[in-house]
Structure 1
Amino acid sequence: MARQRKALGYSQERFAEALGVDRSTVARWERGETEPQPHLRPRLARLLKVTTAELEALLGPRPHDGDPVSALPEAGVIIPTDSAAPWIYLDADQVDEMNRREFLQMLSITGTLVTLPPLSWGQAVELASGPSAVDSGVHGRVNAHLWQSFSFARAKSTVYPMVREQLSALIEAFERTQNEAGHKQLCIHSADLFQLAGEIFFDSNRYTDASHCYALAASAAREAGAYDLWACALTRHAFISLYERRFARAIPMLNAASEVAKHGDRELSTRHWVAAVQAEAFAGLGDLDSCNRALEFAGQVHSLSGQVHNGGWLRFDGSRLAEERGTCYIRLGRPDLAEKSLTEALNHTLSVRRRGSVLTDLAILGVQRRDSDHLLCYAGEALTLAQQSGSGYVCRKLRELQGELEPLKADRRIAALSSQIASLPAIPS
């Protein structure tokens, strides 16, 4: 049991906290001094990613030296199976896929709980601590912390285990709440967390998984009547079509997001962020006039006063407009308009994702001008960022650039650049 816990990345403290018991209790289990009470075993099995029957094997006698389990390497996860083949070993990639599938299952469970009336759960579940055990403030603070961690993380996937733990906590909270107000707050927290989960998948270029997260976020926000949260979920969903270059498909969802945002808080920047994304879609369709109108409305965010975003699911304050304008003009094939905006953007403090995107757009500008030196300068910097951070988002942008390089590949340096981009991690299907 201790080997399984460690392989899944839990310390005794974190494992005990996730299970709702004291660390010393876990220690006694692992020393074989006591065994978990029956009511704890289903959750314990879920945390260890085994069935309840397999949990019994983990709680059994410790393997002797020379047994298959003790001979296995430390990395990866040991999963007990049946008596004929009692143990199998999963490598890191298999563990990642297993965790992803479990996480998506948890998302689906929470998405279903969002739509259920709170009293149906109150009638079905025995409550241990009064009529409502939902601490909305705690969930909100945890979500805000997770968004902040995501913002600062170079590799966005490192936030994934913490999001999974918070999702598990929300599932339990749904099971315990009996009142309408508590249910509504949990819907809001779930929509918030679903969007963050979608961002993690989006950064890894797992667009199908990200789409699932954003759809659940929109559903939960709609259930709660949280219009700004709902509009942001729709906008993130539309991003998937933008980065698959299906611009016409993005327009209806962005139009819906714009309509929903009109019912939201007029002091927030939601409507202006939707407009900035609409501008990218219009640029992809070659509509310069509509693009400029959308950019003009997005720029009106600077006329808002006070706190215009929350730093989590809404982070638009107009500081990205230069790079967004540059991206639009690159898509419109207007390098004369793009260069000023992109150069201005590069002078700001940018995250890895944003800097990689701007550098790649500047490299594309070099392609459009047939300026090999310009292209190689900026593409080289973007490639280094992608290799250092592992950002799937930046890798995706560079692959878009690679598709533009064919006319210039007579230059050996550009042919070598194309090969380096091709060696970046594959984009998941």
Structure 2
Amino acid sequence: MAAKRVRLAKRRKAVGLSQEKLAERLGIERSTVVRWERAETEPQPWVRPKLAAVLKVSADELQSLLDDVTVIQAAPSERMNYMLEHPSSADLVAVAYLHERVRQLDERYDKVPSTALLGPAGQVHGQVKFLRENAANPRVRRALFEVEAESATFMGQLTWDSSQRRDHEAPISYLDEAVHAARQVGDACTEAYATLRKSYVALYGEKAPAKGAAFAAAAAEVAGPASPSLTGLALLHVAEGHAMSGDLKACEGALKKAEAQFDRVNGDDVAAEYYTINEFNRLAGSCFLFLRLPARAEPVLRTTAGALGAKQKSQAIALGNLTLSLIRQRKLDEAAVSLHRTIDTVELTRGGGGLNLAFAAGRELREWRHEPWVQDLNDRLLALVAAI
């Protein structure tokens, strides 16, 4: 089941604050505000007086807002089993159940290896497609297309990650499916995000920067009228494609356009949580690395790696890139510490991006392969291979 603090969110909006702006006023991450409004966590005692002041309520009124939790019941498994046996009778309650299952699995993405999510996510995706193909009610079919667009995008993400970014065909197939489903219901954000993930496969899997930049530019165009956050994120990957091609001027131009999107983000932007200053800095640091500017990359990546603790797969990527920037500046003691941290994070998540960067850093240490500290790192990397 899911829960929401509807009145808390309404009060925030009533005082004219987005989740991002409220987080800034309180000196916390936006994700913390999201968890409060989803009734997943409670504000810590130290922040409550400031929160009450910003929301212009008393301490008692704040407690009342926090206590008012709306619980959304998911359909029980018996009902779902009935729908799967009689798919023409699928209703919006079944759709809500499946949508909630996709959301729950997606929330676990940064906490567990993708291989652990692939089975359950595949099962849910199959159920969504089956019901959508057989549902008699047009409204239900439309709603199932919306869920299918999200679940297919997630499956594309999981299959690529689980293959350690080696399998390009299956992820693209799922992402194409997501684009098709999103277009059936005019969901520009999901269409743009699925297209953006196709750019990831081109950039990091196929090593095709022009193709990746083209997909990212297409995603930005689709997202433009609907989501400044998603537009900005897509433009960051346009910049990265240019950086991989060695085009500094085009890269900096795309970064500038991406940065300008921050001014357009508001509380109604459904993708705002994906486009934060941390994500901007992570991609900017990656761009500087591709452009052979490790000294420019290092401070940005160092700050970002420290701020991404809650997003461990993204943190592993930032740490891996930070390690590369340090090696290329021959700051070897710091590079060793950073690579150990990268491996620590990858051991928990098995994220393909962080794993690939950890091995890339290991390869760049070959010059010092006879040093005991490098041998220790190589032992850890070999153990990582054995555990996959």
- Please name the residue that 1:254 is paired with: 216
Deviation at 1:179, TM superposition (A): 4.9
Q: Is 2:298–2:326's contact at 8 Å kept on the other side of the alignment?
A: no
- Please name the residue that 1:165 is paired with: 123
- Please name the residue that 2:145 is paired with: 187
In 2, the alpha carbon distance for the partners of 1:311 and 1:353 equals: 18
Runs of 4 or more consecutive aligned structure 1 residues displaced over 6 Å after TM superposition: none
Q: Is 1:156–1:391's contact at 8 Å kept on the other side of the alignment?
A: yes
Equivalence map 1:365-376=2 (5 Å)? 365-376=325-336
In 1, the alpha carbon distance for the partners of 2:156 and 2:341 equals: 27
Q: Is 1:134–1:177's contact at 8 Å kept on the other side of the alignment?
A: no
Q: Is 1:360–1:397's contact at 8 Å kept on the other side of the alignment?
A: yes
Change (3 A) 1:305 1:251: closer
- Worse-matched range after superposition: 269-278 or 415-424: 415-424
Equivalence map 1:188-337=2 (5 Å)? 188-204=146-162, 205-206=164-165, 207-208=167-168, 209-244=170-205, 245-262=207-224, 264-265=225-226, 267-307=227-267, 309-310=269-270, 315-337=274-296
> What's the TM-score once normalised by structure 1's chain length?
0.64
* Residues 277-311 of structure 1: CA deviation (Å, up to 9, x unaligned): 11111111111111111112222232134336536
Deviation at 1:372, TM superposition (A): 1.7
In 2, the alpha carbon distance for the partners of 1:183 and 1:18 equals: 16
The Cα RMSD (Å) is 3.0
In 1, the alpha carbon distance for the partners of 2:254 and 2:340 equals: 32
**Partner amino acid for 1:335?**
P
**2:341 aligned residue (374, 381, 390):** 381
Larger Rg: 1
**1:146 aligned residue (105, 109, 134):** 105
- Please name the residue that 2:371 is paired with: 411
- What is the number of equivalent residue pairs in this alignment? 308
Q: Identity over aligned residues, as a percent?
A: 18
Q: Is 2:150–2:178's contact at 8 Å kept on the other side of the alignment?
A: yes
The answer for unaligned runs of 5 or more in structure 2 is: 1-75
Change (3 A) 1:311 1:147: farther
Deviation at 1:389, TM superposition (A): 3.1
In 2, the alpha carbon distance for the partners of 1:309 and 1:340 equals: 29
In 1, the alpha carbon distance for the partners of 2:87 and 2:214 equals: 45
In 1, the alpha carbon distance for the partners of 2:197 and 2:244 equals: 17
The answer for unaligned runs of 5 or more in structure 1 is: 1-13, 22-39, 44-124
In 1, the alpha carbon distance for the partners of 2:143 and 2:370 equals: 59
> What's the TM-score once normalised by structure 2's chain length?
0.70
Equivalence map 1:45-84=2 (5 Å)? none
Please give the secondary structure, in 1, of the residue aligned with 2:128. Answer: helix
In 2, the alpha carbon distance for the partners of 1:308 and 1:391 equals: 30
**Partner amino acid for 2:184?**
E
Q: Is 1:357–1:397's contact at 8 Å kept on the other side of the alignment?
A: yes
**1:402 aligned residue (362, 376, 381):** 362
- Please name the residue that 1:20 is paired with: 82
Change (3 A) 1:159 1:269: same
Change (3 A) 1:326 1:379: same
Q: Is 2:230–2:274's contact at 8 Å kept on the other side of the alignment?
A: no
